[in-house]
Each structure stands twice: as C-alpha cells, then as structure tokens.
Chain A
Amino acid sequence: MYDDDIFSPEQVDEQIERLPGSLPHEDARLVSDLHTVYQPLAHSNTRSLERVRARLAQHETRTRLSHGNASSIPFHQTRQQKNKKDRNMKMTMTAQEGTWQRRLGLIAAVFFVALLVGSLLLAFELARQSKNVTHHSNAATTGSNTGQIVVDTSPSSPGIYLTAQKDRDTFQIIKLDTQTRKQLWSQNIGTITMRSTIVVVGKTVYFSSANADLSQNYVYALNAETGAVRWHINLGNSQYSQKELVPTPAGGTVVRATPSTGNNVLSYTLGILSTPVVDNGVVYVTGESGKLFALNATDGTQLWMYDTQTVPIGESGTRYDVEKVAVDQGVIYGSIMNKLYAIDTKTHRALWTIQIDKTQILHAPEVVNGIVYTSSYEQSHHTSGASMTGYVYAFNAKDGTQRWKFTAQSWVLSSPVVVNDIVYFGSYDQHVYALKANDGTKLWSVDTGGHVYDEPTVSNGVVYADETGNASEATSTASTVKPAMFAIDASSGKVLWQQNTSQDSSIEAVQGNVIYTGVFPGTVYAYDTKTGKTLWHQQVGTLLKDKLGEDSAPAPIITVVG
C-alpha cells in the first residue's frame, strides 16, 4: 500500500474497519490504540443503547399485555443476539422496573409454570448440553444425535467459499461453483467482524465471527451443500481490567498485574474468536478470554473448556490476535502471547506449557512428525526505535523442549508452513525463507523487495508468497516497489515468476492451477499458477458504493475445496 493511500479520505472508513489486514503495522496500531483510548466512552455508549432498548422492550411488553397478547417476545431479538443480549436486557429491566416488573413476572410465571413442569426433563437435558447453542430446523444431524460426537468422514464439499457484503450491515458467506463460478448459495450472517478463515470439513462449513462491540462472539456451522445454518453458538466475552498502570520514576508507566484499585485501570472487552479447527468430530476454538473451547461439531454443544489464564494484551496495552490451535495424535497445541501449550484431548489437562522470551508474541503452531513449528515477533513498545526481532522455532511435541530457533532480520508476522521437511515463512525483513525442518538451517531465501505479512502457500513444489511494498515507518518513506506476488521453486528457491498486483491483495488459496486472491473492493482475482497471469476476476456480493461513489466492499476471505 502506498503511503498516500493510507487513511486517504476515499478509503479511511474501510481501512479502519479492516484492521489490521490492510494497514502497515504502525497504522494498524494507531487504529487499535484509538479504539482502546475511546473504549471507555464506547462502553458507556453501548450501555446507553442497551438501556434504551430495554425500556423499549418494557414498553412493548406493556402494550402487548394491554392488548391481550402477553406471550409475544418483547422487542424482538435477532437470532444472533438472542442468547446473551436477552439475559442482559432482562437483568437491566429487572433492576429498573421494580414492583411493576415483579408483578409482570408473576403473571408470566403463572402462564409458564405448567409448561415448565411438563417439560422439566427436557429442560434439564437441554441445560446440560448447552446454555447458548442455537439449533436450526434444517440442521442435518441434531435431534437424536444431540450430544453424540459424530465424525464426518465424507469428502469435503467442493466449491469456492468466500465472504461478501450484502449491504453495509450484512456479511454473507457465499459458495461458488469451482468451474462455472456460479453462485450456489449464500447465507446472511448479520453485522459482524470476521477475523476467521472459512473451514470446510465434510459437509459442513465452520467459521467464527463477532459483532461490532464484541458482545456476541459466535462459532457458526453451515450446511456446505445448502448454506443453511446447522448451528451457531455464542461463546460470550469477558471484561479484562485487572492490570494496574503504575507510574515509574522515569515518568512513564508500567502495567502491574495486581487487583484493580479502581484507578488507572486498563479495560478491554475480550471476545474475538480464532479460526475453528475440526478434529475427530470436535471443533476447537480459542478466544481472547484465553479460553480454549471444545464443541461438538455435530450440534455445537460445548464439551469442555480449558483456561490458559493468559489474555492477548501486551505490556503496553496492545491487543494481539488470537491464534488457532493445531491438533495431532489426540493433543491440542496452542499459543497465546509468549506461551505455547499442549493439552490432552482426553483428560483436558495441559501436558506441558512453555514460555519463550516475554517480549515475543507467538503465532499459531503447526505440528508435523512430532515437531511443533511456530514463529514470533517482538511486542510493540509504543516507542520509536523499538527493535523488531522475529524468530522461527521448532519444539518437541512430546515435552515442549526446543529443538532449534532461527533468527530473522525483522518481525515474522505469520506462521511458518511445513511441507516435505522444509519450513517456509515470510518476514517483514522483505524475504521469503526456507529452512531445513530437522535443524533449522537456512536452505534459501528470496529478496522480495517488500514486507511479507502473510504466510506462504505451498502447492505442487511451488511456494506462493506476496509482498506489500517497502514503505518504511521508521523513515517515513513511501514504497518504491509495487505489491507483488511471487512463485518460488520450493526446493531451489529460484523465482519462477513475479507478478505485480495492482492493488493491495493477499493470496487466499491455491487450488489446482489457480491462485485465488482477495482484492478490495469485494473482488476475487484468479491467477495462473504456471505463469502468474490473470485468469479471471469476479465481483462477489453487492457492489457497494458510498455517497462519494467510492467502492466500499471489503476484500473477500476465500477458501477453495477442489
């Protein structure tokens, strides 16, 4: 991205909302910090809106009662909001309403008591399974299978799965035919923040999403053949405000992990969920709350939960991503901040936990042949001149002991990829690297001329990677190279071809002879894997224009199943 394009009037809304993917690191941090600075006021505003909403609900309930329609649901909640929001609203109503509300409660209780008694056993059963999960009538395997773990071993349903925007407030998941690219189905997801990739296992599509204020954080399962929602579950959020900012003699402040005194406390709503990972009929997803959730892939009920007791908030208050886990041989491997852990899927207990240098932030691990590979980059210190170290690691899956560690020349901003005993990764130091998996020695590196943010994709002996220009935050110089995509021979490191990408795009998938990239606005660009030439491009979702006539649909997130 060129410097002039960052926060330009035409793109400023889009760039703030697409944090952090479309922005250079420092600019993404500015947006993140602004969210943090305004978060207390934002919380107050959210509460105001909830209070008014609750009062509207009361009014509607009164109106309905006065017209003999007491059984209606007060002020309808959308399907996505129902669970947690409803509870919040009821709590607010109770607090505000006093006697009148209690009387209403009594009347309602009389209406419902017979029903409750009659369905007591059923209620217990439902309560046991989940307090939050919502099933849908078109779910394929709920009902008699509820509670049972069923492993879907059917081949994954082929197609191009991607996100699109239907209108300004509604995201969609869309499936296209791989050959004809005709739309097969679409499913509206509502107002969400989509941080997860789309995962297709057998006949089901999984992903996670959040609403704007992170009060609802869902894992979704859609029928891959029809797009119908099989289930979705709200895993809730938590407030994090137990760190006290303590002044230092030098005039700065540090964060001290002590119980809140009510003053100088950083507060966050922690809710964002990682990309789901499905293994043996169980969906594993991690949350900003530091919890790892295990859900029944069939019906979304929560099976168990593990708390890492760590939240992805840096010492200087920076908020970091939640990383997906890897599952291998009945063990879950996960990372959060500088902590790497292994959990037994049977006992739900940690087998081992290690902590690397506390200045480093780990990416998602990958496990191959009993070795856990991961990478890290140095935390933001919110000061100029901070060092930008980055590393790639290999640990023994059995006990977490370190096998080797490779030092890059700058941040490593995505996970490594391991194929045929070679570890591939890109770095902010403008290189794509290949290391020997067994000892971490460098096989080759390619100078891309620009920062590499995304993890490479390896397919049929070729490494595909993209760079995003070489603009320097430190010297405030604009990029002198255009964003480009590279095809590199996986063994020799020879560049097979290099293709400029006209706009800030990222490689989302490689399937068959096609490289799929998501490009702003709302477009899929497909390139030939052999030549890098554009094969086709296609607008997805609605071509949204703002009032100035500028495009505003975000770049799609794409998963392709061949």
Chain B
Amino acid sequence: MQQQEPVVFNNLSCDALYQRYASGIFAYFYKQTASRDDAEDLLLEVFLAAMERSNLANMHEEERKAWLWTVARNKAADYYRRMTRHPSVNLKQVETSLYIDESQEPEQITLKHEEYARLRSTIARLPEQQRDVLQLRFAHGLSCAEIATVLEKKEGAVRMQLSRALKFLRSIYGRR
C-alpha cells in the first residue's frame, strides 16, 4: 500500500467536526471507561484519525458522523480488550462509583443547599437509565438524538426517559 503523507485535513471542517461531535464521543468514552484521562486519550485518538483521513472532507455529513462513531466504537472495543488483558480495575465497580469519583474532584462542589440536596437525592432515586440520560443532557449538553447515539438506543426511547425523569423531578417543586 502506498504510504500517504499525513494530510492535515481541512482545518475548518475538522474544527467543525470537533465542535459537533467531540462532546458526544467524549461522553461515550467516559461512560465506557469511567476514566476521564482514558476518555480524553481515546477522544484524541479518534480526532487524530480524522485529521489524517484525507477523504473525510469529501464525505457527506452523515457519512462523516458514521465514520467518526465507527472509529470511536472500535477504539472503545480496543480499550476493553486491553483492559481484559491487563485488568487494573473492575469495570462494573468503576461504573457504579463514577458519581462518587466526580465528587472527589477538587473543583467539585458539594451543594448542600436544601433544595439542591433534595433535587440530588430525588435524582438518585431515579432509575439508572434516567440518571444516565439526565447526566448526558445536563453535564454533557447533548440532545436526545446525540444521547441516543451514545447509549445506542432509539431517540424516541431517550426522549421518553428524559421526559419521565423531568416529570418526576417536577414533583419536588410543588407538583405531582
């Protein structure tokens, strides 16, 4: 195969791609790896691949998106394989302790105000899927369509989960 010179793919398009898809792909990696550092590394790998992919600029938007997500899922699969061969942490445990890890970050704020505490405890009582959707919506700023891609679910199902979660949370604001 002919060795191609690394082509720095159209700057504007690459920047636009990053703006459009990096949040979603990062959220996906963060959920998959439960490690911020690992998620950042994987995200970097995906976009380095994008920068060196010379024909990406010629693709339609949907094709570009599909390509990026294919790379992302392959990277995650590679990561899993590495983790399986060199298990340093139990993924299940990491997954469930994610919330606690976040609260240990130096910049993390423990919101002890009565209302926020009530909101947080109510969130904690939600089913896991609804908590995931809330976090992806509010902490990662993803739309339902993007969340659906991250969670590999149908958008309608995500909308339903988010709707249910918000309607339940309304109850603590004097509604039922």
Contact = CB atoms under 8 A, between A and B. Distances in A.
Contacts of A7: 162-163, 166-167, 170
A26 B159 contact: no
Contact of A12 (B8, B12, B162, B173): B162
Interface residues of A, number: 73
Contacts of A77: 15
Given A8-B163, A12-B163, A76-B11, A247 B18 contact: no
Interface in B82-138: 102, 105, 107-116, 119-120, 123, 134-135, 137-138
Minimum-distance CB pairs A-B, first 3: A382-B115, A76-B11, A9-B159
B113 A245 contact: yes
Contact of B143 (A13, A38, A67, A383): A13
Interface string A455-487: 000000000000000000110100000000000
A384 B14 CA distance: 49
Interface string B54-87: 0000000000000000000000000000000000
B151 interface: no
A317 B163 contact: no
Given A9-B163, A75-B11, A76-B11, A264 B112 contact: yes
A212 interface: yes
Contacts of A473: 173-175
B19 interface: yes
A2 to B, nearest CB: 13
17 contacts: A12-B162, A26-B170, A33-B116, A37-B123, A40-B108, A42-B141, A45-B27, A49-B23, A55-B44, A64-B8, A73-B11, A169-B20, A253-B114, A382-B113, A384-B174, A385-B174, A476-B174
Contact of A191 (B19, B119, B148): B19
Given A264-B110, A474-B174, A59 B51 contact: yes
Nearest to A47: B107
B137 to A, nearest CB: 7
B43 A52 contact: yes
A548 B139 contact: no
Contacts of B108: 40-41, 44
B143 A168 contact: yes
A30 B4 CA distance: 53
A8 B159 CA distance: 8
B140 interface: yes
A548 B39 CA distance: 30
A51 B41 CA distance: 10
Interface in B18-44: 18-20, 22-23, 26-27, 30, 36, 39-40, 43-44
Contacts of B27: 45
Contacts of A78: 12, 15-16, 19
Interface of B: 5-6, 8, 11-12, 14-16, 18-20, 22-23, 26-27, 30, 36, 39-40, 43-44, 47-48, 51, 102, 105, 107-116, 119-120, 123, 134-135, 137-141, 143-145, 148, 155-156, 159-160, 162-163, 166-167, 169-170, 173-176
A93 interface: no
A443 interface: no
Contacts of A547: 145, 148, 155-156
A213 B139 CA distance: 11
B159 A27 contact: no
A121 interface: no
Contacts, number: 191
Contacts of A349: none
Given A27-B170, A53-B22, A317-B115, 12 more contacts: A37-B120, A45-B23, A51-B40, A56-B18, A60-B11, A78-B15, A191-B19, A252-B114, A266-B111, A476-B175, A547-B155, A548-B159
A139 interface: no
A63 interface: yes
A131 interface: no
A390 B28 CA distance: 46
A38 B139 contact: yes
Nearest to A15: B166
Contacts of B170: 6-7, 26-27, 30
A450 B9 CA distance: 56
Given A33-B115, A52-B43, A265 B109 contact: yes
Contacts of B102: 40-41, 44
A9 B139 contact: no
Contacts of B22: 49, 52-53
Nearest to B52: A63
A317 B113 contact: yes
Interface in A509-562: 546-548
A49 B26 contact: yes
Contact of A41 (B47, B116, B135, B159): B135
A43 interface: yes
A213 B173 CA distance: 26
